[in-house]
Amino acid sequence: MFESLSDRLQDVFKRLSGKGRLTEKDVDEALREVRLALLEADVNFKVVKNFIAAVRERCIGVEVLESLTPGQQVVKIVNEELIAMLGGGASRLEHAAQPPTIVMLVGLQGSGKTTTAAKLALQQRRSGQRPLMVAADVYRPAAVQQLITLGKQLDIAVYSEPPGARPVEICTNALKRARDIAANIVILDTAGRLHIDEGMMEEVTAIRAAIQPHEVLLVADAMTGQDAVRAAEEFNKRVGLTGLILTKIDGDARGGAALSIKAVTGVPIKFVGTGEKTDALEAFYPDRMASRILGMGDLLSLIEKAQETVDIEKAKALEKKMRTATFDLEDFLDQLQQVKKMGPLSQLMEMIPGFSKLTRQAPELSGVTDQELKRIEAIIYSMTPQERHSPQLIDGSRRRRIAKGSGTTPQDVNQLLNQFRQMQKMMKQLSTGKIPNIMRMFK
């Protein structure tokens, strides 16, 4: 979502870092480009104005103009002000002192409330909670059935009532059910509308008054830009929000909603939806998001994803194989499967510091996609166990058989084998202390 903005900002900072000393004119020229980049990213005009003023005030001070590395100081200031714009520190979900914790989800139709309810329930269960999802959207066709289906897929309890029940009664009865089954977090999936209307607001206000939820979270579609910001303002005035969940943050929109919404509404972003799968919901960290926008990566999030999916014992065994250069295609296949569990490859690459810069120097690196990984996986699956352990056995006839079995061409199989040999060679160099060229290693 922030790719275009990130590229623009990095170009500005690259020019600044090339100057030995900065003048006030240099700062103003750079900030003019930063302002244009933010406006083109659909960031709220007032937010941009305040952001540029805050950055300029600090940039024309002693800490920058008299610094030995003025370009780096400007980046540091922009990073800090971006973090402030995004909300400062991370905002956690508030849990009740006396369970169950009640989380009420509100928002417009199409923002992804029902799917987000399931994602949040799954995340809470993984953190040790016992969730109950409540199907309180009685208006959208199949909304109740959708939540029940998601509950069955995830093995998470869902409370629903027959058609004709009123949402306030459904939510009240759901709390009784939560106590009966010892659920300690209740997630209410309330109804949305195609637009904000009086009836919608009256209903969510009535549920809020009757249930007294500990959290009222607006689920907003980040792809709708400033419309999401306006919806957040209206909901906050009428209902009183405690937090925001931005969905579709992995989309190709300009990202202005994510950068504006906290500054405009004063309501913190608590979670972001990063994909369609039920595990694609992340806690929102302003500092990590700012780092990614500035092209500095997000190693903490990458490490957390790895910790959730990587088998430690397998990792230790793999490390030993890499040190002794006995890594084979069976190990490579296992690594591919673990990487796939961590999420889309494009998102993982964004978390590596400097990778966006690297792809500009070598555009072919950005072409590695999840589809490419599936193709590689299919080729390896078409090999016999013996061939995976000893790729040197694969001759012309075997290549043709593997290609036919995987729906690829002999050239594709040959390319994979060549790349694998290069990788083995690189590992051998590493094991002997010889560090290969970084560009070649990434390729």
Confidence of residue 241 (pLDDT cuts 50, 70, 90): very high
- CA dist., res. 352 & res. 197, Å (int): 44
Q: Given 3.30.1490.190, 3.30.70.1060, 1.10.260.30, 1.25.40.10, which CATH number is that of 301-442?
A: 1.10.260.30
pLDDT in tens, 203-224: 999 999 999 999 999 999 888 8
Indicate the SS3 state at residue 216: strand
| Three-point CA angle 399, 401, 406, nearest 5° | 95
**Nearest-CA neighbor of 135 among 101, 169, 161?**
161
CATH topology of domain 101-294: Rossmann fold (3.40.50)
Dihedral over alpha carbons 184, 186, 187, 192 (to 10 degrees)? -170
- CA dist., res. 273 & res. 98, Å (int): 29
- CA dist., res. 123 & res. 218, Å (int): 17
How many other C-beta atoms lie within 10 A of the C-beta of residue 382?
18
How many other C-beta atoms lie within 10 A of the C-beta of residue 12?
21
pLDDT, position 383:
92
Q: Domain segments of the chain: what residues?
A: 3-85, 101-294, 301-442
**Nearest-CA neighbor of 197 among 139, 136, 273, 145?**
139
- CA dist., res. 360 & res. 257, Å (int): 27
Confidence of residue 186 (pLDDT cuts 50, 70, 90): very high
- E strands present in 343-426: none
Average pLDDT for the chain: 82
pLDDT, position 116:
95
pLDDT in tens, 254-292: 667 788 888 889 999 999 998 888 888 988 888 888 887
Q: Given 3.20.20.10, 3.40.50.720, 3.90.1150.10, 1.20.120.140, which CATH number is that of 3-85?
A: 1.20.120.140
Q: Are 279 and 309 in contact (CB under 8 A)?
A: no
- CA dist., res. 356 & res. 361, Å (int): 9
In sequence order, the 6+-apart residues with CB closer than 8 A to the CB of 53 are none
Average pLDDT estimate for 366-372: 64
